[in-house]
Amino acid sequence: MSNLSLHRSHLAARVRAYYPSSESKTTSGESFDDLLGLVGVDYTYFLDENWFATFETAGAVSGGVGGYAELLAGLGYRFPLTNDDRLALLPALTIGGAGGGAVETGGGFVARANLGLEYRLSPDLSMIMDSGYLSAPDGN
C-alpha cells in the first residue's frame, strides 16, 4: 500500500472566547469590553512527528459583534509530556486576517500565540484546551 500517507492530520470543531483588553475599541471609537464568543473549524497537518501546520477559521456568535470573522494559519509543535503519548503541550503561532462586526483590527492583520494542552482519549480522538493572546498590531 504505497499510496498511504505517513502524515497525520485532523479536522476539529473549535469554540473560542476572547476577553478584550481594557484598551480595546470598536470601529466607532467606543470601548469594547464584551466577551467575544466564536465558533469555527480547525485543520491541522503534521509535517513530521511533532511539527504541525494549522489553519483555522471562525466567526462571532456572541459579544454584540455579529459579522466578525477570522482566518488564520500558522505553525506549532507537539511536545509529549508522558511516555504513553497521551498528554502533550501544543505551543503555536498563527497569523492571518480578521475583522468585521465593528471590531477595530486596523487593516485586518492579526497574530496569535497559543499554548494548548492535549489529552488523547484514544488513538483517533483527543481533547484540546488552549489559551493565548491575539493582537491586531494596527488596530485597537
Question: Does the structure show a pLDDT above 90 at 4?
Answer: no
Give percent above pLDDT 90 in the chain.
61
Q: What are phi and psi for residue 79, nearest 5 degrees?
A: -110, 100
Cell of 93: 503561532
Predicted pLDDT of residue 2:
47
Cell of 103: 471590531
End-to-end CA distance of the chain: give it in Å, rounded. 53
Cell of 38: 466564536
Predicted pLDDT of residue 33:
81
Question: Does the structure show a pLDDT above 50 at 1?
Answer: no
Beta pairing partners, 74: 54, 94
Per-chain mean pLDDT for the chain: 89
The model carries a pTM of 0.86
Count of other CB atoms within 10 angstroms of residue 25: 16
CA 126, CA 123: separation in Å to the nearest integer? 8
| Residues 95-140: tens digit of each pLDDT | 999 999 888 888 899 999 999 999 999 888 889 999 999 999 988 7
Count of other CB atoms within 10 angstroms of residue 39: 13
CA 29, CA 26: separation in Å to the nearest integer? 5
